[in-house]
Each structure stands twice: as C-alpha cells, then as structure tokens.
Structure 1
Amino acid sequence: MPLNQSMNVFDRSTKLAQRDRAAKAINFSDYDYLREEVADRIADRSFDIKRFFPVAVDLGCGRGYIGKYLDKEVIGTLVQCDHSKESLKIAQMRAASFEVPAISVIADEEFIPFPDHSVDLLFSSLSLHWVNDLPGTFAQAIKYIIIDNDGAFIGAMFGGDTLYELRCSLQLAEIERKGGFAPRVSPFADVRDVGNLLTRAGYTLTTIDLDDIIVNYPSMFELLDDLKGMGESNAAWSRTNILHRDTMMAAASIYKAMYGNDDGSVPATFRVISWIAWKPDKSQTQPAERGSATISMKDLSASDSRKGS
C-alpha cells in the first residue's frame, strides 16, 4: 500500500470519546497498570542510548506515563501530546512531579503539529494501534519530527493476537447463539507489518521486539470493565454495539472452559510490538559496499575445518 494511501478502519471520534470518558472516571488510575508497565520499558530503552536529547515528544501520551520514568541526564524537555483533552489534563498534573520539565500540546497522532527537524527523540506508547493512517504517521514522524542528527523513534503498540482469548470466546458464543458473529475486538497490526512500514517510511537500524503481557482476571466481565477503564474498547467502524446478555454469559463460560486457570481466573494476552528506529544519518554505521570483502567464505570454511582437526 502506498504511504499516502490510508485505510479507514477506526472511528476516531468514538475513540476520542472513549478516552475522554475513561479519563473523567474517579478511579482512572486503577486501569493504568498496563500503560505504566510498557511506559517503563520504553523509557528504559532511551537510557541505552549514550547521548543527550534536548527535546523529546511523547506522541499519544494518554494520562502521562512515560515522563515519570525519564531522567534529566538523558532528556532536556518533554512535550506530551494527545488528542484527548481530558487525558491531557491529567498528564499536565502528573508532569509537576516529573524530573524532566514537560509541556502539553493537544495533537492528533494522524496530524503531527511540529515543524521540520524540531525534535531529537520521539516516544509513542500504546496509542498508534488506533491510528488509521499508520504509514502516514510514520512518514510524518521522520520528516517533521525527528532531527537530522541521528534522531530516534522509540515506540510500542498492541498488535497481532492481542486479546485472542476474548475474541475467540465471543465469536464462538455468537455462532452458537446467533448463527454468526460480528467483530467485537479491534483488528491489530502484525509485527511484520510494523517493521515493513517503518522501513518504507525511511527509518534505518530498526529493531523490533514482541512481548506477551498476560494479565489474569476473575472472569471475562472484569476484563471488559478494565478495557473500558483503559479507553481500549472496540472503536472499529465494523463493530456492533448490541450484545445480548445470554451471549455474554455463554462467552464467559466458553472463555473459562477453554482458557481458564486452575484457580478459576482467566488470562488475557496483550501482545506488545515495540521498536527503536533511527532517521538515517552519515554518523551511523554503514554496511560495506558489495564486493569489498577481502576474505572469501571458502577460506573461512577451510580455516574452521583445520581448527576442528
């Protein structure tokens, strides 16, 4: 798919409403455990880069997670961006306790509002899986965000088989009760798709990791409640909002029967695709030119054979 061609899978206005509603909840912090865990991992990757970044951006910052883990020895100023005003209000309040000075900007991940070459380091944690134009966002980031001097993009998003237990249980229940099923869980990008899109957008030295975070819940209903509290309910255009009680009860039973733990709880798998990618720069290590090798593979093989004897 060309980089300027975007899909329209998600209802962004619905997703914005879900995030605003979740941020207004009195107990919103009860649902931050996943985002806190992933934000900690992302921030930790910035410590592995032995340089100082004057300006960093947290794209899709949510309620402000990454900033609390950053060090002023690595980051000069953090710009927190999100298109949810309610989430950004909380992020602003949390920023008062950050070691790194932070400012907040209302911004949609699909329309990044920064001038060319203005930011040294870009973060994004568990936000981009709701973006329709992911190729466009990656392309904007490398052109308008990341500075020429060896700037980096460190991010994470849900992908692949995230919540496959819930997806299968709901589908089987609807087939049993209704003779068919509607999409109840958002579609997620595959790790290969993310890697290909980063490469096509022009990034280099890309490293991608895949991790499963498994969380146990008393039942399927607690999982659904937590997804709502996270602002992670389905927002695909193809979703249907009606799910009858008998189907829900059947799905909960199927979930427990197929995936349940010995103690009666049920696991939910959150598959996290994380990456670090760089904007090309002359200072980076470059591959040798084709045909420049001075030792042949045949010579190496012969040398190994002699060592073995």
Structure 2
Amino acid sequence: MLCSMWQVAANLGCGRGYVSRHIEPDCVERLALCDSSPSWLEQAAAPEGVLVERHVIDEEGLLPFPPASLDLVLSSLTLHWVNDLPGMLARIHDCLRNDGALLASLFGGDSLYELRSSLQLANLERRGGVAAHISPFTEIRDVGALLTRAGFTMLTIDTDEVVINYPSALELLWDLKGMGESNAARNRTLHLGRERLVATAAIYDALYGREVEGRRAVPATFHVIYLVGWKPDASQPHPLPRGSGQVSLKDLYRLDQVIRDSKKVPLESPDEHGKD
C-alpha cells in the first residue's frame, strides 16, 4: 500500500496498473496513468475513489504536464528503456512542484549477468566474436549522479537482487520475450540462430546449473535499483554550515562520554529506574 499526502500524482509506464491499483484515495486525489501502449493503458486498473486520467505518451518526448503541476511521480521498471535518461529525469523534475517526489525502480547493470556471459561465450565459440543480445542497463554508481544532475535532492537509493530459477536458458528467453524485455538495441543481431541458441543453453547450464528441489535449474538474476528523489524546497532540512560541528569523528568510540560532558542530552541515573 502506497500512502502519503499527495494531491496530484502520475504513474509513468503504468502498464496494466500493477502499481496504480494499490494507491489509496486517502493518499492521492488525482492520478494520471501514462504508457506508450494504448491497449495496456486501457487495461490499467484504476483505484476506487481516485480521479483517473489516461495519457498515451512517448517516454522519449515531452510529458503532458505543465511545469510544477505534480506532487508525486511513480515509475516501476520502465526507466531502463529510456534512451535519454538524464533528459527524462530533468523533465520529471520540471513537472514536479517544490517538495514533490520521484519514486521509481529500474533494472540495474548486473541484471541477467548469467545470460549475458553465456551468450558471449556461445558467440565466441561459434562465430569468433561478440554481439549485443541484451539491452544495456544503468549502473547503480551512475544513478545518484544522474538524479543530482537533474536537480533532485535528499536522495535515497537502494538495490535488491531477485533470483528466479528456470529449467533452462530456453525458458528464460521465452519469458523475457513474453515480458517485452528482450533486446531492443538498434544494432542488435536480429536472429540468434538454433546453433548459438543451443550452445548458449549448454554453456548456461554448465556454468550456473544446480539442483533445486531435486530438479536441474539455472538461475536468472534481476538487479533492481530503487530510488527516491525530492525537488528542492525551503521547508526541507539543510546541512549545517561548514565548520559548525562540535564533535570530532575520531571521538565516536567514546560517544557516551562526549554526550555526558557536553550535557546536551541528560542521562538517566540508575536510581531513577522504575520511577513513574
């Protein structure tokens, strides 16, 4: 359940409404569902009690919102498809009101590393070279810099690894195609070929295969990056001026003594325990 005090929110890349259906009317008054697929947009679940509008958008272009018109922007596992991610973050920043927030997740750079290495080895073995078969991902070390460059502050970035077991690489490739997460790079090889496909499955199993509940399986790792960024506002907390600190970091090992000496925080005496 997603809940805070927002008036106007937008869900970019809403898909079939996997996120929007969990938004409560006590938290969001108006919600804009946005996706590049008209059919998915029509299927997106609308939360009860929330005023919903739908927009077919091109995530590479301008957003259909005036500047400073949104309190919250949500995006779940869609930003990794944006070619101009710095530009997209800047456009989101422009659409947010002061103290508005961006809450998003995207696949990170370590996603599907097992499949990528298996495809590279299969290409080296069969063709003597390497070809791109998986779209590039954003590295977590770059996310903070991109958000700061776009103007966001009070950043929170976290990561998670989701490992899913498949009978073989063939079922994984079939699943990726069904998810719409297959390679979309312009210079990609359009046809993998049966020979390299079988070689990829064999290498995948040899390198990463294992027994799971009595059956042979191969893992597929999805590296998910979660991020929160806020548009600056005067009401937000700010760091103290440089040089205003009164406690050195080298004294952290004796923090209790420092607090006692500074008398900033009164310590409870032993005889006060148990008193009302």
Residue 86 of structure 1: CA displacement? 2.1
Quick one: distance in 1 between partners of 2:136 and 2:24? Answer: 35
Describe the SS at the equivalent of 2:70: coil
1:202-221 correspondence runs (5 A): 202-221=151-170
Query: After superposition, where does 1:78-97 map in structure 2 within 5 Å?
Result: 78-91=31-44, 94-95=45-46
3-state SS, counterpart of residue 291 of structure 1: coil
Contact 2:13 2:78 in 1 (8 A): yes
Deviates more, 1:199-208 or 1:258-267: 258-267
Task: Name the SS for the 1:63 alignment partner.
Answer: coil
Q: Does 1:137 align with 2:95?
A: no
Letter in 2 for 1:168: S
Report if the CA contact (8 A) 1:129-1:158 is conserved.
Answer: yes
1:71 deviates by 1.3
Letter in 2 for 1:133: D
Match of 2:53 in 1: 103
Note if contact 1:67-1:98 (Cα within 8 Å) is conserved in structure 2.
no
The residue that corresponds to 2:274 in the other structure is none
Q: Contact 2:114–2:221 at 8 Å: present in 1 too?
A: yes
Residue 232 of structure 2 corresponds to residue 283 of structure 1: no
TM-score normalised per structure 1: 0.78
Higher percent of residues as helix: 1
Q: How many residues align?
A: 254
TM-score by length of 2: 0.86
Please identify runs of 4+ aligned residues in structure 1 that moved more than 3 A.
97-101, 298-307
Q: What is the CA-CA distance between 1:304 and the residue it aligns to? A: 4.9
Of 270, 292, 303, 2:244 maps to: 292
1:1-309 → structure 2 map (5 Å cutoff): 44=1, 46-47=2-3, 51-91=4-44, 94-95=45-46, 98=48, 100-111=50-61, 112-143=63-94, 145-148=95-98, 150-262=99-211, 263-293=215-245, 295-297=246-248, 300=251, 304=255
Contact in 1 for aligned 2:14/2:20 (Cα 8 Å): no
Amino acid corresponding to residue 102 of structure 1 in structure 2:
V
Structure 1 pair 301–59 and aligned structure 2 pair: CA distance change class (3 A): closer
Unpaired segments of 5 or more residues in structure 2?
259-276
Counterpart Cα distance in 2 of 1:215 and 1:175: 26
RMSD: 2.0
The AA in structure 1 aligned to 2:65 is F
Higher relative contact order (CA 8 A, sep 6+): 1
* In 2, Cα distance between equivalents of 1:302 and 1:248: 57
* Letter paired with 1:71: E
Structure 2 CA distance for aligned equivalents of residues 235 and 57 of structure 1: 26
Percent of pairs with identical residues: 49
Q: 1:181 to 1:289 in 2, by over 3 A?
A: same
Work out whether residues 68 and 99 of structure 1, in 8 Å CA contact, stay in contact via their aligned partners in 2: no
Q: Please state which structure has a larger fraction of its residues in strand.
A: 2
In the other structure, the counterpart of 1:40 is none
User: Which ranges in structure 1 are unaligned for 5 or more consecutive residues?
Assistant: 1-43
* Greater Rg by CA: 2
